[in-house]
Amino acid sequence: MKLTRNLPLIAEQSALLFIDVQNFSAHRNGAEFDGLTDSQFDEKHGWLFEQLETVIPNMQRLQAACRKADIEVMYTTIESLTLDGRDRSLDYKITGFNVAKGSWDGKVINAIEPQGDEMVLPKSSSSVFVSTHIDYVLRNLGVKQLVISGLLTDQCVESAIRDACDLGYLVTQVIDACATETQARQDNSLATIKGYCGQVTTQPAQPVHRSLVMTSAYSSFHCAVQRPSLSATSAAGSSDSTVVISVTVREPARKGSTSEPMVRSV
């Protein structure tokens, strides 16, 4: 049997992970930007925040789509286990990152805030797989496939993708729901990491190179994304703010039937 990354995405075996989409680094008032004048902020972080104007809505559609498909939605944020950050990695200490335990900076931004009992794992290193027990949690959940979105593309997102792959997960990176500080850094990261994961976007009308199939735990239907996209447009072509994955629902053919399964758009 030939091994491949091009496998269906099965809802009950999948999770969506948002990385570091938090007040510290994705909100103008975040502590990462303390002391910067507006001109300094624009020079250093302006491109990132311009991208977030479209990236965050893409994250919202992705989040809503996975919730609708009954896919586990999870978050990790930079946050120390202590107030003074004595537990954080040497790299974070050298960099000067300390998001104190329980602080506003450690919270997921309001635009994609967790609902209900969605899990948020605080981390004190670049990779969520190094300083949290996410691997243990994912295996307890039965997760084999991980969909990743977040910040920064070429840092913590890349670290998570590499470690997840090495630990035996199949990874899908939603590239227009990730961002970093410059276009060059974004492009370089996406080109470098593509050998480790499937790369999809939230936009429709792209060439078919991967089929994502989601089997809901509460439904016998299969939701097949015909393009490699998690889209805000339904399979029938109509815009719908609540149905944010472009899907068709394939009803199984009756036993003994030679006809193709009936396809309904949702």
- pTM for the predicted model, two decimal places: 0.79
- Which one, of 196, 181, 185, 202, lies nearest residue 246 by Cα? 202
Angstrom distance (rounded) from CA 57 to CA 52: 8
C-alpha 30: how far from its chain's center? 21
Task: Give, for 163, the enclosing helix (H) or strand (E).
Answer: helix 158-166
Domains of the chain: 11-200 (3.40.50.850)
In the sheet with 212-215, reading across from the earlier edge strand, the strands are: 212-215, 222-225, 248-250, 263-265
* HSE-CB for 13 with a 13 A CA cutoff: 13
Residue 180: Cβ-neighbour burial (10 angstroms; 0-12, 13-18, 19+): buried
Angstrom distance (rounded) from CA 54 to CA 58: 6
- Which one, of 242, 47, 58, 33, lies nearest residue 150 by Cα? 58
- Cβ-contact 174, 230 below 8 angstroms: yes
Q: Tell me the longest C-alpha to C-alpha distance in the chain.
A: 71
Q: pLDDT tens for the chain, 266 residues: list them.
A: 788 887 888 999 999 999 999 999 999 999 999 999 999 999 999 999 999 999 999 999 999 999 999 999 999 999 999 999 999 999 999 999 899 999 999 999 999 999 999 999 999 999 999 999 999 999 999 999 999 999 999 999 999 999 999 999 999 999 999 999 999 999 999 999 999 999 999 987 444 334 344 433 322 222 333 333 444 333 333 333 323 343 322 333 333 444 333 322 22
